[in-house]
Amino acid sequence: MNAFVNAGLCNDLLISKKEGADDWVFSNKDEGQLAAAASLGLLQIWDIDEGLEAIDKYLERPEDNIQAGSYLALGILSSGIKNDADAAYAILADKLESATKESHKIGILMGLSLAYAGSARADLLEVISPIIVDSENSIELQAIASLSIGMIFCGSCDQDAAESITQILLEKEEKDLEHSFTRIFALGLGLLFLGQQSLVETSLEVIKCLPHQNMAEFVSLVMETCAYAGSGNVLIIQKLLHLCAEHKEDEKEATH
């Protein structure tokens, strides 16, 4: 809350400019440390020089949540900024290559997606797509990588980006598609076509090939909704209202 209230002010009585035992980041535990470290990026947003100095001491901390939060802070700090130094890419891309812990990789991916949202940078696709298609990675990590691609290539309809996500969905077994994080794959795909309306049609046809029918319908719905977001398309609105009116019973419940 403090970080949002004082976003961009570069100073906050609770969070910033504290040392040792008074450092707010270390006063928290577990995910609280991640949020506290990330909030520094929001306080310092767009002030690259001062922001990097404030975040730097947390980038190499042994605590996983603090380190992951600092990667997220760097992404927030650099959101939408273009400069010759390109510090967010230089630091985060290098960290992603060397990171071994999943929590670190997720923090880095979200940092990159916030820093370069809408940039459609091809070099980031080359860095992130191998994480999506590597079946050795967890579904959670693959899903977050897909969301990152969706944010970076938001509204671009980039086919290479779309194929990197659809490829792994098509390779998943039916039981894997029931994982809750599969919904994040759908959002990543949807963001690629945000506001692009009928340009989503080709990719929707590919998604129909998913082995799990319910998941195929869900992914298609998310993609189509994103594609027509803000369009006021009456036919899509009618379709969504019709879906809202349906009441599908669980098969097991239906037998009782």
For residues 6 and 43, give the distance between their C-alpha atoms in angstroms, rounded to a whole number: 6
Q: Is the pLDDT of residue 13 over 70?
A: no
Q: Is the pLDDT of residue 11 over 60?
A: yes
More confident residue, 202 or 252: 202
Q: Is the pLDDT of residue 256 over 50?
A: no
More confident residue, 181 or 252: 181
Binned at pLDDT 50, 70 and 90, residue 248 comes out as low
Q: Is the pLDDT of residue 81 over 50?
A: yes
Q: Is the pLDDT of residue 151 over 90?
A: yes
Average pLDDT, the chain: 83
Highest mean pLDDT: which range of 1-10, 99-108, 238-247: 99-108
* Mean pLDDT, rounded, for 105-126: 91
* Mean pLDDT, rounded, for 150-175: 87
Q: Domain coordinates of the chain in residue numbers?
A: 1-116, 117-247
